[in-house]
Chain A
Amino acid sequence: MNVVVTGLGTTSPLGGDVPSTWEAALAGRSGVRTLDNDWGETYGVPVTFAGQLAVPTSEVLRKPEMRRMDPSAQMAIVAAREAWADAGAPEVDPDRLGSVVSSGIGGVWTLLTAWDTVKERGADRVLPLTVPMLMPNSPTAYVSLEFTARAGSHSPVSACASGAEAIGMGFEMIQSGRADMVICGGTEAAIHPLPISAFASMQALSKNNDDPAGASRPYDVKRDGFVMGEGSGVVVLESEEHARARGARIRARVLGLGMTADAHHIAAPEPNGVGQTRAMQFALERAGLTPADVAHVNAHATSTPVGDMIEARGIRSLLGAHADQVLLSATKSMTGHLLGGAGALESVFTIKALEERTAPPTINVDEPDPELQVDLVRDTPRALPEGQIAAINNSFGFGGHNVALVFGTV
């Protein structure tokens, strides 16, 4: 069963929808800024910047929607509405429509705000919708409700690989015949003092408070950790047969999926990248492709000193000399790291790159790591070749989760 992409949606640090986000990415703009709050002074939060949404959800959602949904679900709904409209908002059999929308962390704002309420005003002031707001399956449940998706609604959780795993699950739902269409992606809204403090405590975050826009610098020799981002990416996947029958515009194909686990350490990647490389290899094999078919990789590359090069060495070892002709992009340099939303937003970027045959830039790379042996797209976009081409989107998560998706041109 061939699976195609017929709809894209996002709300991100670069823009409130796909056209504005993609335009900002091609222009090499950063969505990372100093936070407009006093968390540093009040709580001693050591990192005072992040990639917040370019367009707050309060500007597009109605008040009851804001009140009933955790920010992570709000963002998913904004992205899902755009993706569904982009797919032509078709009338479909609800029993054949699925939703798979993941979050890495879940409704952390709802959970912690409710705990503040208990402490400050008493347990009987906790609102009755607190549980359905904080549960990590809330975003996919709201998407299922909004679009009457009854083929199944899921939210696989694998930290920063969650969004990619969700798209992988949507792909498999269609391939296995469970659904004709699946609305899938990831979302995250964890720019809160606690997650920032916790990621900072494990030395995972850049502490470059003096230069927020320059802090996320994958592959640069001065990279010092990732930058928190928030937002959502959603794609509408569909069986090719179903898409052709309704005359849908097909943006790209989903060709392969590879998923492996490191079983090495709860947070650190396995140093030789064996599991990561196997995920990419399985995805290519499942797609029936060889390294020569790959023209572009949207890397996981979060701007950590160790992680970036493990992945890059894996790409080189998998693709061999062909890696010299593969355009590598690390879009987290502009968006920051959307955690559970990352793999989904980066799938949107990968699909746009194939559709427009343009690889987006990687910004802030003043001096590339001398070990890097893949052709990195720096500062300005570069053209991808004509003909049938494929692209890999990698996502890896704490816990040793490795997900590689392969997309192809129509």
Chain B
Amino acid sequence: MALSQDEVLAGLAEIVNEETDIDTAEVTLEKSFTDDLDIDSLSMMTIVTLAEEKFDVRIPDEKVKDLVTVGDAVSFITDAQA
């Protein structure tokens, strides 16, 4: 069953927290991964790989550059699950 947007956000925030120590409360929809959360490209690729596993979705490498904000990633994952 597909997860709600809130559930995807919570799951993604957990991954970001484990990978970077950023508080889960800081991981909100409008935040940019690079500009606001200071996540480098290797960490971003790690987060993507872990998210693919956790949410059982496929995020193509060429799609990753479009995932600018946390909200972009949550929408992509939510849509991919539907």
Q: Is A246 an interface residue (CB 8 A)?
A: no
Selected contact of B53 from candidates A64, A125, A128, A129, CB within 8 Å: A125
**Interface hits, A127-150 → B, CB 8 Å:** 127-129, 132
Q: Is B34 an interface residue (CB 8 A)?
A: no
Interface string of B48-80 (1 = CB under 8 A from A): 011011000000000000000000000000000
Bound together, the chains give a CA A358 to CA B50 distance in angstroms of 51
**A-binding segment of B4-12, B15-23, B24-32:** B15-23
Selected contact of B46 from candidates A62, A121, A124, A128, CB within 8 Å: A128
Residues of A within 8 A of B18 (CB): 63-64, 67
Nearest residue (CB) in A for B45 is: A128
Bound together, the chains give a CA A121 to CA B19 distance in angstroms of 21
Bound together, the chains give a CA A125 to CA B49 distance in angstroms of 6
Interface string of A53-91 (1 = CB under 8 A from B): 000000000111001000000000000000000000000
**Is there an interface contact between A129 and B21, defined as CB atoms closer than 8 Å?**
no
Bound together, the chains give a CA A63 to CA B15 distance in angstroms of 11
With both chains docked as a complex, state the minimum distance between the C-beta of A57 and any C-beta of chain B, in angstroms: 16
Residues of A within 8 A of B53 (CB): 121, 125
Contacts A125-B49, A127-B49 given; indicate if A64 touches B42 (C-beta within 8 A): no
Bound together, the chains give a CA A126 to CA B45 distance in angstroms of 10
**Is there an interface contact between B21 and A62, defined as CB atoms closer than 8 Å?**
yes
Bound together, the chains give a CA A132 to CA B41 distance in angstroms of 14
**Is there an interface contact between A64 and B46, defined as CB atoms closer than 8 Å?**
no
Bound together, the chains give a CA A64 to CA B14 distance in angstroms of 12
**Is there an interface contact between A64 and B20, defined as CB atoms closer than 8 Å?**
yes
**Is there an interface contact between B42 and A128, defined as CB atoms closer than 8 Å?**
yes
With both chains docked as a complex, state the minimum distance between the C-beta of B39 and any C-beta of chain A, in angstroms: 11
Contacts A128-B42, A129-B42 given; indicate if A64 touches B49 (C-beta within 8 A): no
Contacts A128-B42, A129-B42 given; indicate if A67 touches B19 (C-beta within 8 A): yes
Residues of B within 8 A of A124 (CB): 49, 52
**Is there an interface contact between B45 and A64, defined as CB atoms closer than 8 Å?**
no
Residues of B within 8 A of A129 (CB): 42, 46
Bound together, the chains give a CA A84 to CA B53 distance in angstroms of 39
**Is there an interface contact between B46 and A127, defined as CB atoms closer than 8 Å?**
yes
With both chains docked as a complex, state the minimum distance between the C-beta of B42 and any C-beta of chain A, in angstroms: 5
Bound together, the chains give a CA A125 to CA B54 distance in angstroms of 11
Nearest residue (CB) in B for A66 is: B18
Nearest residue (CB) in A for B18 is: A63
With both chains docked as a complex, state the minimum distance between the C-beta of B60 and any C-beta of chain A, in angstroms: 10
Bound together, the chains give a CA A63 to CA B22 distance in angstroms of 11
**Is there an interface contact between A63 and B21, defined as CB atoms closer than 8 Å?**
yes
Bound together, the chains give a CA A3 to CA B49 distance in angstroms of 47
Residues of B within 8 A of A128 (CB): 42, 45-46, 49
Residues of B within 8 A of A132 (CB): 42
Bound together, the chains give a CA A126 to CA B42 distance in angstroms of 12
| Best-buried of A124, A128, A132 by chain B (most CB within 10 Å) | A128
In the A-B complex, the 3 residue pairs with the closest CB atoms: A128-B45, A64-B21, A128-B42
**10 residue pairs A–B, Cβ–Cβ below 8 Å:** A63-B17, A63-B18, A64-B19, A67-B18, A121-B53, A124-B49, A127-B49, A128-B42, A128-B46, A129-B42
Q: List A residues at the B interface (Cβ < 8 Å).
A: 62-64, 67, 121, 124-129, 132
Q: List B residues at the A interface (Cβ < 8 Å).
A: 17-21, 42, 45-46, 49-50, 52-53
Q: Add 18 more A-B contacts to A64-B20, A127-B49, A132-B42 (CB < 8 A).
A: A62-B21, A63-B18, A63-B21, A64-B18, A64-B19, A67-B18, A67-B19, A121-B53, A124-B49, A124-B52, A125-B52, A125-B53, A127-B46, A127-B50, A128-B46, A128-B49, A129-B42, A129-B46
